[in-house]
């Protein structure tokens, strides 16, 4: 028995049914090319009978020079009491000119009777004739048995008859779908094994949703029972809760279960693929995703990090490089000295144990005052650099002043004055902005840019404010996080103070200093 599992990606069809996702035509083309580079075997491009964008995608897709993947058009069986040759949906599927078509049909008698409002025999005819007609037109046909597991539990003989009809009429594979996402892994495994025993040599696939939190587990259970095609989406994007997440399914199959999905070289690009798709979707990347999230191999507890410095396998289940990720030490009040030892080694710094202990104590004290360093690693790096005996400040604040102006016509502006020392020179500059932080940013750059012209390229890309102890009303401590970018490098810094301007200055000045060190 071959250990190859074929990957069928439906990010461009099922994935777009997630709330908040709407890809442009160019987005879909880029994603298809990226999926092909990664090595998936099938790319479901959309439903050509449902919208003009998908029609345009299939037209453009004909010009793509794909290395691995086959583009697939998706659609339903013919309508009841209609000849396939006259059915608008079947015609749209064939007009897409894809080498593969995926046809879904009903396996659950509830859907046949209550949704399609037809007879059981007519539903079987709809499946068989649709598959046969598309096969006759020279297409590879994949049959998706919608609601199969619910249908099998309600009426196993009929559910089995639907997929057998598809196979007899030429389907190259039959995909069993947990469309409502409510079945458990042991149910999936048992039913797939039973169906496998009845289907002979017909390859089986699995399509699951995550409504009960079992989408990935159900997919793995199906493969264990004999399925050799898995359907899912990158990052699990999909209808309602999610589809099975291929970013978990693929490494689980390949690294844990001994199946082959993609090359090892391509598997090491998995994190990049995950982040690329989230960027195109204009969604924040979920940093807690298994395998591909930034936190997947991040270690915060001091005991964990200390152990991993002795043996890196002590607190991680795989080498993160296998999926293109990396191990990280998160610095916080829960950290031990080992977190800082690893961080300083990564930076190439040689800091004594005594100084590291002092930095760790400083971090714990600052977090008690409202700072948080988990999302502000640039501030941690600066603290470590400042712990070196040879450290000399790049610039020092002498004083600053910020004034808010509300003019008679309603316009609001801010003016900031800063006095900073660079070496033996003192710079005294002022600038105005649309708010106090913008004014401070401009004034500080104005003071430094003649000496450090690279600061012209630094962009402040995000500014987050959080009130920590709201019960203190206007005297509450404010935490400020600033995200900055210069070229392809990005970093985050933090400040905290009962005064929001002071907190902003701490984060802003750290950001500028960090930019001069990288």
Q: Tell me: the pLDDT tens digits for 210-261?
A: 999 999 999 999 999 999 999 999 999 999 999 999 999 999 999 999 999 9
Give the span between the Cα atoms of 445 and 69, in whole angstroms. 50
State how far the alpha carbon of 166 is from the alpha carbons of 71, 97, 123, 227, 306, in Å: 21, 21, 11, 16, 57
**Residue 332: band (very low, low, confident or very high) from pLDDT cuts 50, 70, 90:** very low
User: For residue 343, what pLDDT is reported?
Assistant: 67
Does residue 472 carry a pLDDT above 90? no
Does residue 457 carry a pLDDT above 80? yes
What sign results for the dihedral spanned by CA atoms 12, 189, 322, 376? positive
Which range is least confidently modeled, 216-220, 316-320, 398-402, 511-515? Answer: 316-320
Mean pLDDT score of the chain, rounded to an integer? Answer: 88
Helix, coil or strand: residue 339: helix
What is the dihedral angle through the alpha carbons of 493, 498, 504, 507, rounded to the nearest 10 degrees?
A: -20
Identical topology for domains 6-262 and 396-515? no
Locate 493 and state its tokens: 């810094």
- Tell the CATH topology of 6-262: TIM Barrel (3.20.20)
Give the span between the Cα atoms of 64 and 70, in whole angstroms. 11
Answer yes or no: pTM beyond 0.85: no
Strands (E), 156-201: 173-178
Q: Architecture of domain 396-515 in CATH?
A: 2-Layer Sandwich (3.30)
How many helices and strands, by DSSP H and E, does the chain display?
A: 18, 16
Angle between helices 185-198 and 156-168 (to 10 degrees): 50
> At CB < 8 A and 24+ separation, what contacts does 281-286 make?
281/21, 281/23, 281/237, 283/20, 283/21, 285/235, 286/235
Give the span between the Cα atoms of 209 and 392, in whole angstroms. 56
* DSSP letters for 421-485: EETTEEEEEEEEESSHHHHHHHHHHHHHTTT-GGGGG-EEEEEEEEES-GGGGGG--EEEEEEEE
Spell out the domain ranges in the chain.
Answer: 6-262, 298-386, 396-515
- 471 by Cβ neighbours in 10 Å (0-12 / 13-18 / 19+) ranks as exposed
Does residue 314 carry a pLDDT above 70? no
Give the span between the Cα atoms of 54 and 50, in whole angstroms. 8
Overall average pLDDT of the 176-197 stretch: 97
Per-residue model confidence as pLDDT tens digits over 115-136:
999 999 999 999 999 999 999 9
Is the pLDDT higher at 269 or at 368?
269
Give the span between the Cα atoms of 217 and 184, in whole angstroms. 8
**Residue 333: band (very low, low, confident or very high) from pLDDT cuts 50, 70, 90:** very low
* DSSP letters for 30-44: HHHHHHHHHT-SEEE
């Amino acid at each position: 028995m071959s250990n190859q599992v074929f990957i069928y990606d439906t990010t461009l069809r099922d994935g777009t049914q997630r709330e908040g996702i709407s890809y442009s035509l160019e987005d879909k083309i880029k994603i298809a090319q990226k999926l092909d580079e990664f090595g998936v075997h099938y790319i479901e491009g959309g439903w050509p009978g449902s919208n003009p964008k998908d029609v345009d995608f299939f037209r453009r897709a004909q010009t793509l020079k794909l290395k691995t993947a086959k583009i697939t058009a998706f659609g339903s069986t013919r309508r009841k009491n209609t000849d396939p040759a006259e059915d608008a949906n079947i015609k749209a599927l064939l007009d897409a000119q894809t080498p593969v078509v995926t046809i879904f049909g009903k396996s659950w008698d509830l859907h046949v009777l209550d949704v399609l409002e037809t007879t059981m025999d007519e539903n079987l005819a709809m499946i068989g004739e649709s598959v046969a007609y598309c096969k006759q037109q020279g297409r590879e046909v994949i049959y998706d048995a919608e609601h199969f597991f619910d249908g099998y539990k309600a009426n196993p003989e009929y559910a089995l008859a639907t997929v057998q009809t598809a196979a007899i009429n030429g389907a190259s594979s039959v995909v069993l779908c947990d469309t409502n996402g409510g079945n458990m892994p042991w149910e999936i495994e048992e039913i797939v094994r039973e169906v496998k025993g009845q289907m002979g040599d017909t390859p089986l696939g699995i399509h699951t949703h995550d409504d009960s939190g079992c989408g990935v587990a159900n997919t793995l259970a199906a493969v264990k029972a004999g399925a050799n095609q898995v359907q899912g989406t990158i990052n699990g994007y999909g209808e309602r809760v999610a589809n099975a997440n291929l970013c978990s399914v693929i490494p689980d199959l390949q690294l844990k279960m001994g199946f082959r999905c993609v090359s090892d070289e391509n598997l090491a690009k998995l994190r990049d693929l995950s982040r690329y798709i989230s960027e195109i979707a204009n969604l924040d990347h979920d940093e807690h995703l298994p395998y591909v999230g930034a936190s997947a191999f991040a270690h915060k507890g001091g005991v964990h990090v200390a152990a991993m410095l002795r043996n890196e396998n002590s607190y991680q289940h795989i080498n993160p490089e296998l999926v293109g990720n990396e191990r990280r030490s998160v610095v916080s009040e829960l950290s031990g000295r080992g977190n800082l030892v690893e961080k300083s080694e990564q930076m190439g710094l040689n800091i004594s144990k005594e100084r590291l202990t002092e930095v760790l104590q400083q971090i714990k004290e600052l977090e008690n005052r409202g700072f948080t360093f988990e999302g502000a690693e640039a501030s941690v790096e600066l603290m470590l650099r400042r712990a070196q005996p040879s450290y000399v400040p790049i610039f020092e604040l002498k004083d600053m002043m910020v004034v808010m102006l509300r003019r008679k016509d309603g316009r609001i502006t801010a003016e900031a004055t800063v006095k900073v020392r660079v070496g033996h020179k003192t710079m005294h500059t002022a600038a105005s902005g649309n708010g106090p932080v913008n004014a401070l940013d401009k004034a500080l750059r104005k003071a430094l840019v003649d000496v450090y012209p690279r600061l012209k390229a630094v962009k402040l890309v995000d500014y987050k404010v959080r009130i920590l102890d709201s019960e203190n009303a206007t005297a509450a401590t404010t935490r400020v996080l600033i995200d900055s970018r210069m070229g392809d490098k990005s970093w985050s810094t933090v400040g905290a103070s009962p005064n929001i301007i002071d907190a902003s200055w701490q984060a802003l000045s750290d950001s500028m200093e960090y930019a001069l060190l990288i």
